[in-house]
Amino acid sequence: MPRNGNSSQDRVIDPTDTKSKILDAAEELFMEHGFEATSLRLITTAAGVNLAAVNYHFGSKEELFQAVLTRRLDPMNQDRMQLLSAYESASNGKPLTCEKILAAMFIPALKLARDHQQGGKNFLRLLGRAYADPAPFIREFLSSQYREMIARFRSAFSFALPHIPREELSWRLHFVMGALSYTLAGADMLKIISQIHPEEATNDELLLKRLAPFLAAGLRSPSPAEDGGHHLFQET
């Protein structure tokens, strides 16, 4: 009895085996109902497998959730870092533009959103929910999954924007991640905020072509320490 294991595919991935069927069904159902509200019975019924298969292959519901996240999140963040390295190698030691660094963040996310016709979009919504979940096992998992990639991109931005203090840059990177994840995950909020035509709202590439310039302008803006001392939050 393996009881878990095979954490980073020791064998080839077979989309018809029990583990993959569970992961596919869990991804869609976790996205739709959240972690706590999705029962293992719902997942195993949708996957066409026995209820006990989840505990046999993944150990527990929490470990299944982590497996669902890591299956796509880990490759996506690896892609981001590889793409960033490729851009840097091609620049001959010159700093990259903010747009270029943002492209290294966005393109792998876009690829994920497009690749698996429904799975990709489902996963990004699931990720958006996980960001807002305070459950310790989720937060610690996301932290470990993101730490390396975030450090890598902060260095790149620091090199591209040497006049921005490192701490200010950490904040701006936080804002970038917020707008990106919110935009990729919360398509439904668009219907609240605007009367944007639905057929356009589904075009993620166009969306990010609008988001990247928006964020690049914010990243390049003067550091608050050198803006002449505006007093924004003074009433009247």
Partner DNA sequence: GCTCAATTGAAACGACCGTTTGAATTTACG
Partner DNA sequence: CGTAAATTCAAACGGTCGTTTCAATTGAGC
Asked if 94 is part of the footprint of its own copies (rule: CB under 8 A), the reply reads no
Q: Assess 138 for contact with DNA (CB under 7 A).
A: no
- Nearest approach in angstroms of CB 58 to its own copies is 20
Task: Return the one option of DNA, its own copies, none that residue 222 interacts with (CB less than 5 to 8 A, by type).
Answer: its own copies
Q: Using CB under 7 A, which residues numbered 18 to 77 contact DNA?
A: 18, 38-42, 49-57, 60-62
Of 47 and 211, CB closest to its own copies: 211
CA–CA dist 198, 177 (Å, integer): 24
Minimum distance from CB of 117 to its own copies (Å)?
18
Q: Of 30 and 106, which CB lies nearer to DNA in the complex structure? A: 30
Query: CB of 41: closest distance to DNA in angstroms?
Result: 4
Please provide the distance, in angstroms rounded to a whole number, between the alpha carbons at the two ends of the chain.
Answer: 70
The number of residues that bind its own copies (CB under 8 A) is: 79
The smaller minimum CB distance to DNA, of residues 51 and 217, is found at 51
Degrees to nearest 5, angle at CA 52 with 47 and 56: 100
In angstroms, the CA 236 to CA 161 distance is 34
- List the x/- string, 188-217, binding to its own copies by CB under 8 A: xxxxxxxxx--------x-xxxxxxxxxxx
Q: What gap in Å lies between CA 161 and CA 166, rounded to an integer? A: 9
Cα(136)–Cα(8) distance, integer angstroms: 23
CA nearest 91: which of 162, 99, 170?
99
Distances in Å between the Cα of 26 and the Cα atoms of 14, 33, 62, 221, 235 are 16, 10, 11, 42, 49
Contacts with DNA, residue ranges (CB under 7 A): 1-2, 17-18, 38-42, 49-57, 60-62
